[in-house]
Amino acid sequence: MEADYVVVGAGSGGCAMAYRLAEAGKSVIVIEHGGTDAGPFIQMPGALSYPMNMSLYDWGFRSEPEPNLNNRQLATPRGKVIGGSSSINGMVFVRGHAKDFDHWAEAGASGWSYADVLPYYRRMETWHGGNGAASEFRGNSGPLHVSRGPRKNPLFHAFVEAGRQAGYEVTEDYNGEKQEGFGPFEATIHKGQRWSAANAYLKPALKRENCTLVRAFARKVVIREGRAVGVEVERSGRVEVITARAEVVLAASSINTPKLLMLSGIGPAAHLAEHGIGVLADRKGVGANLQDHLEIYMQFASKQPITLYKYWNLWGKAFVGAQWLFTRTGLGASNQFESCAFIRSDKGVDYPDIQYHFLPIAVRYDGKAAAEGHGFQAHTGPMRSKSRGAVTLRSADPREAPVIRFNYMSHPDDWEEFRKCVRLTREIFAQEAFEPFVKHEIQPGQGVESDEKIDAFIREHAESAYHPCGTAKMGRRDDPMAVVDPECRVIGIEGLRVADSSIFPRITNGNLNAPSIMVGEKAADHVLGRGMLAPANSEPWNSPRWKTAQR
């Protein structure tokens, strides 16, 4: 089999890449190890806790024991299905803050400043929020539908009002001009259905004759005389090579992309030699710079029986499921994350560094233990941890999962930032707006006040927000830690690019699905050798008081 372009991974970046290359008339083969996304567990937004805990749809990675988190091994779900992690995630849509991308550009990813990426965010979306009209910040004709939940539960409004009462900004659109503040959350949900990268990009692309999906397990990139010429895959028990006439694009996730690069001879020379892999390009940044968002769930018992707990039983779930199956409406049509906030932890912090997901039930991501009956929770954590981890090879066997070490909480600033999250959150839930609803704090719990007790709670209860990135950093070609240049080309090998969250020089604010899709969109224009979309000159809002005030 051969095509102009071979894309490895039908996830957020890969689907967008396939769509744009096929649209431009190029022949594309997309290699995906996972299978179909048909069925209610993926397509029903309200069922989001199921697919990420199903081995059918998830690679099932776990971190190594994390020394600063009581040696716990944390789940690291990655989608093994068409749509990749956009088919198993929480569907939350956050572009990142303008300053995140300006930082990328300053760090060596020239051409990736906010002015450069905003046109791609506009191109990729059809926005149904606000009055749904396109603005200088929002798009209205892209493949990816972005909508807002109905926010019928009074708790969603109480959360935003409490933020206002505590002195924080309120924002009508955190993905538009002003991220900072409390306001409505956005999601990749369309007509009551999960609008994954598979639904938005891959399925329309596959309707074209020049785009093909191949179910196979990618083993390595085939490189001849310094040039990528194809991908070695295992399919139905046979090993074969799928040939790329022009280029190979890796979009296999921030866990599998560095693994494939190393198996192909691209990575830190000493580490490859340990596993008997011949070195074709000595890039010590491959697998390094691993970042993630860590979060805790602050849970409160509810005075009123208005939370989703009333559906947390067999009959309730059956009712919600049936209503969704027949009408695509009701609670099943929402991810239940309908209010959020982005705030600054302190004066002198120039843009938000704490995020809140508000949820009208007290429950864990894995769907276990609805705490104590009626309750609600805020997921919160720092956005820009200074801790860095790595993805390395366990062996030269492609079938073995890589070694994932996040080194969570390994920087002293992380502890200080997390304690602030706990204390600022308590203050928000103590506002008048929550007086009718807050009965008491479930966790961390009333007795957890001192730094020591808060730290102990974090060690035992912090969970990944599932936002791994950074393991094939984009930067200047002379940066020894950069893996790809600002056109997403792997440095030292011809005909090979990366188009997923691996290339983020630094983690962005909030959830990573939107920036991962944007990377696929923009990288496609680099691959096609087109001029880039003209930079935007829209001015994003920044707090005029950031130097002197926390809010």
Kindly list the catalytic residues: 467
Burial 401-430 (b: 16+ CB within 10 A, else e): bbebbbbbbbeeebbebbbbbbebbbebbe
- What is the rounded radius of gyration, in angstroms, for the C-alpha atoms of the chain? 22
CA 523 from chain center: how many Å?
17
d(CA 469, CA 294): 13
d(CA 167, CA 155): 19
d(CA 506, CA 508): 6
Task: Please say whether the beta carbons of 41 and 26 come within 8 A.
Answer: no
The label of the residue with tokens 């990618």 reads: 218
For 538, the token pair is 């829209």
From first CA to last CA, the distance across the chain in angstroms is: 58
Torsions phi, psi for 193 (to 5 deg)? -120, 150
Count the neighbouring beta carbons within 10 Å of the beta carbon of residue 327.
11
List Cβ neighbours of 210 (8 Å cut-off, separation of 6 or more). Answer: 3, 22, 25, 26, 27, 28
Phi-psi region of 369 (alpha: psi -120 to 50; beta: other; left: phi over 0): left
* Cα angle: 472, vertex 478, 482; to 5 degrees: 10
Nearest to 347 by CA among 86, 545, 118, 117: 545
Amino acid at the residue 397: D
Name the β-bridge partners of 339.
184, 358
Task: Please say whether the beta carbons of 502 and 469 come within 8 A.
Answer: yes
For 425, the token pair is 């959150």
For 208, the token pair is 């074209």
Nearest to 266 by CA among 284, 250, 248, 251: 284
Task: Please say whether the beta carbons of 481 and 285 come within 8 A.
Answer: yes
DSSP strands (E only) in 252-374: 266-267, 281-282, 294-302, 339-343, 354-359
Question: Is 121 buried (19+), middle (13-18) or exposed (0-12) by CB count in 10 A?
Answer: buried
d(CA 516, CA 522): 10
d(CA 259, CA 535): 34
Element (H, E) at 520: helix 513-527
